[in-house]
């Protein structure tokens, strides 16, 4: 049950990061989950474990980390016209 809860929270964090960076419409559900989980690890590594926690993830650093991950990935996968 803990893994499922982490995937759900990771998906929500990824969706929030996609909405903040205006990349949410181009990302799918799996990309949101991956961005949320990787962003959570990056954010907590850079900013620490402060603020409210849900499913073992500090929410604010996780969202900031996910925004960083989505911005970096969208920069490198940008399609040129």
pLDDT single digits (tens) 23-69: 766 677 888 888 888 988 998 898 888 888 888 888 899 989 989 88
Q: Which of 19, 48, 49 is nearest to 36 (CA)?
A: 19
- Please give the model's pTM, rounded to 2 decimal places: 0.82
Domain ranges of the chain: 2-78
CA distances from 35 to 7, 80, 81 (A): 11, 23, 26
Residues 6+ apart with CB under 8 A from 20: 63, 67
| N-term to C-term CA, the chain | 45
Q: Tell me, what's the pLDDT at 26?
A: 67
pLDDT at 25: 63
Residue 6 has pLDDT above 60, yes or no: yes
Judged against a pLDDT cut of 60, whether residue 80 lies above it is answered with no
In whole angstroms, what is the distance from residue 3 CA to residue 9 CA? 10
């Amino acid at each position: 049950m803990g893994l499922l809860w982490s995937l759900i929270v990771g998906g929500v964090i990824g969706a929030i990061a996609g909405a903040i960076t205006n990349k949410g419409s181009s990302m799918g559900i799996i990309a949101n989950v991956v961005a949320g989980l990787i962003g959570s690890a990056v954010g907590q590594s850079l900013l620490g474990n402060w603020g409210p926690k849900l499913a073992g993830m500090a929410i604010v650093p996780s969202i900031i980390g996910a925004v960083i991950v989505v911005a970096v990935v969208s920069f490198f996968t940008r399609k040129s016209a």
